[in-house]
């Protein structure tokens, strides 16, 4: 199951990848900030004055995580996975 990592994929898949990177880095900074007694929550620092938008970002990161668990089933991603499987580049889990 490659989830189109090695050969591309649809725009939703690529957007999910970016959201997961942003979310992961944000949570890493939150953890580091706790040890330093400071607020390093980047999403909160940029969007703290707009709590609805901040909540939307967190919800989108959560949806991206669920999509990553189950994989994208669109035609473009399935074709990309088929190319990876036939070329031997399939991601090992």
| Rounded Cα gap, residues 50 and 29, in angstroms | 20
How far apart CA 9 and CA 31 sit, in angstroms, is: 32
The CA–CA distances, whole Å, from 2 to 16, 43, 82, 92 equal 15, 30, 9, 8
Residue 3 lies inside a defined structural domain of this protein: no
Q: Are 6 and 92 in contact (CB under 8 A)?
A: no
What are the tokens at 32? 């580091």
The structural domain count of the chain equals 1
- Asked if 5 and 72 touch (Cβ cutoff 8 Å), the reply is no
60 in any annotated domain: yes
Q: Is 71 left (phi over 0), alpha (psi -120 to 50) or beta?
A: left
Output the pLDDT for position 55: 94
Residue 1 lies in a domain: no
Domain that holds residue 77: 11-87
Per-residue pLDDT of the chain (93 residues; tens, 9 = 90+): 454 455 567 888 889 999 999 999 999 999 999 999 999 999 999 998 999 999 999 999 999 999 989 888 888 887 777 766 676 554 444
pLDDT value of residue 8 = 65
């Amino acid at each position: 199951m490659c989830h189109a990592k090695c050969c591309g994929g649809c725009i939703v898949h690529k957007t999910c990848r970016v959201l997961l990177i942003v979310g992961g880095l944000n949570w890493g900074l939150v953890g580091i900030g706790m040890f330093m007694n400071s607020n390093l929550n980047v999403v909160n620092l940029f969007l703290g004055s707009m709590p609805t938008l901040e909540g939307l970002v967190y919800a989108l990161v959560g949806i991206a995580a669920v999509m990553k668990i189950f994989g994208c089933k669109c035609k473009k991603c399935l074709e990309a996975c088929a190319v990876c499987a036939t070329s031997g580049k399939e991601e090992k889990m």
